[in-house]
Structure formats: structure tokens, C-alpha cells
């Protein structure tokens, strides 16, 4: 049986006193790597609720659904690129952001990436296909990106080969600027209506 890749990435404005960044970081950080199917669904329900509360400040986004031979490769590409670019180990994080590699000190955005690799032709694959079957004119709206994020708790995790979530930067206090997003390898992100 083949695979289906599903990925969603959103640049979200995260305001200084808003607890969103801290709450999402804590939910991800305190989630065990191995979870039961029930715990996995609960985790994704919490994450999608936290992310989708921010829908009015979704600025940029991208999503993709790939079936067949390229699905596993796409999942590996996304995860390896994200893991390679993020500070994930305690020794890498430090106590302050790395201003030398940033294009601007205006760190108002976080980048949330949600990924899944599911069994092709499974009910999870069918669910994703139905949710992604939208007219092209609706692909790059805040509502569509929220719909895509809300797809994760609907998956049958018995049919999910792999799933992942990434928050960039990896610190609950750090952020990205719009210049970082436009000049830092994220040029594929689309402005959202």
C-alpha cells in the first residue's frame, strides 16, 4: 500500500503579551514521543484549537497533499529541512535569540508546521482528500488554512504512519520577522486573505 503526504505551514503573528506562543510551545514540549491512539487525537485536538484561535492573524501559509510514489520523500524532505534549521536541543537553544542570523529584530511571527504521512486509500486519506477538494480560489485564505489544521484530529491514527509538528523558532520567547520569512527560504509561503 502506498502513502499520502499532508503538510500545512502557517506564519502567525504572535503579539508580545499574547500567551499563544508559550501555550503552543508548552503543549508540544510536554507531549510524549510515544502516544496511544487516543492520546494522539487529544494532542492534535489541543494543538489545532490553539493554532486556529489565531486564525485572524494568519499572515502567510502553504499546504500540500501528495499521493503515491513521492509522498514518503516529501515527508522526509519537510522533516529533515525543518529539523536541520531548528534549534531543538537544550545546548542549541541558549537564552537569547541568534540576532546574527536574523534579518530584522522585529520578531513578531512564529511558523507552525503540521505534517502527516497516512496509508493511501485509508479512511484518513479519504478524509484528507475531501477536506482538500476546494476550488483554487479558496486555497490561500485564512479559513482554508484553519480547515487544514483542523483536519489533523479527524485522522484515524491507526492509519497514520508518521506525524509531526514544528514550531519555529523553537523557543517560547523568540520569533521571526517578515524579512526572515521572505528571505530565509520560506518564499513559497502565500499571503493569506
pLDDT in tens, 99-130: 444 444 577 899 999 999 999 999 999 999 99
* Calpha distance 41→152 (Å, rounded): 8
pLDDT (average), residues 81-108 = 58
pLDDT (average), residues 3-13 = 97
Write out the E strands in 120-159. none
Cell of 50: 490553539
The answer to whether residues 91 and 140 touch, using CB atoms and an 8 Å cutoff, is no
In the prediction, which pLDDT does 17 show?
A: 79
Burial of 177 (0-12, 13-18, 19+ CB in 10 A): middle
* Calpha distance 51→91 (Å, rounded): 27
* Calpha distance 174→132 (Å, rounded): 32
Cα dihedral 191→65→147→52 (10° resolution): -70
| 3-state DSSP assignment of residue 108 | coil
CB atoms near residue 178 (< 10 Å): 16
In the prediction, which pLDDT does 87 show?
A: 53
pLDDT (tens digit per residue) in 48-78 = 999 999 999 999 999 999 999 999 999 999 9
In the prediction, which pLDDT does 173 show?
A: 67
In the prediction, which pLDDT does 98 show?
A: 46
In the prediction, which pLDDT does 171 show?
A: 66
pLDDT (average), residues 30-42 = 93
pLDDT (tens digit per residue) in 125-172 = 999 999 999 999 999 999 999 999 999 999 999 999 999 999 998 666
81-93 burial code (b ≥16 CB/10 A, e <16) = ebeeebbeeeeeb
pLDDT at 35 over 90: yes
In the prediction, which pLDDT does 172 show?
A: 63
N- to C-terminal Cα separation, the chain: 37
Q: Tell which residue, 177, 87, 99, has the closest CA to residue 186.
A: 177
Burial of 42 (0-12, 13-18, 19+ CB in 10 A): middle
In the prediction, which pLDDT does 174 show?
A: 76
Amino acid at each position: 500500500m502506498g502513502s499520502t503526504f499532508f503538510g500545512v505551514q502557517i506564519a502567525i503573528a504572535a503579539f508580545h503579551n499574547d500567551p499563544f506562543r508559550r501555550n503552543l510551545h508548552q503543549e508540544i514540549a510536554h507531549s510524549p514521543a510515544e502516544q496511544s491512539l487516543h492520546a494522539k487525537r487529544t494532542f492534535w485536538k489541543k494543538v489545532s484549537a490553539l493554532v486556529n484561535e489565531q486564525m485572524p492573524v494568519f499572515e502567510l501559509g502553504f499546504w500540500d497533499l501528495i499521493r503515491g510514489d513521492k509522498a514518503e520523500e516529501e515527508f522526509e524532505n519537510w522533516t529533515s529541512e525543518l529539523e536541520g534549521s531548528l534549534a531543538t536541543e537544550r545546548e542549541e537553544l541558549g537564552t537569547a535569540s541568534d540576532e546574527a542570523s536574523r534579518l530584522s529584530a522585529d520578531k513578531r511571527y512564529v511558523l507552525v508546521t503540521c505534517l502527516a504521512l497516512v496509508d493511501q486509500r485509508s479512511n484518513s486519506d479519504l478524509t484528507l482528500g475531501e477536506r482538500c477538494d476546494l476550488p483554487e480560489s479558496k486555497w490561500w485564505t485564512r479559513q482554508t488554512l484553519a480547515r487544514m489544521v483542523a483536519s489533523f484530529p479527524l485522522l484515524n491514527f491507526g492509519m497514520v504512519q508518521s506525524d509531526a509538528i514544528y514550531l519555529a523558532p523553537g523557543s517560547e520567547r523568540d520569533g521571526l520577522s517578515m524579512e526572515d520569512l521572505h528571505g530565509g527560504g520560506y518564499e513559497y509561503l502565500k499571503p493569506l486573505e
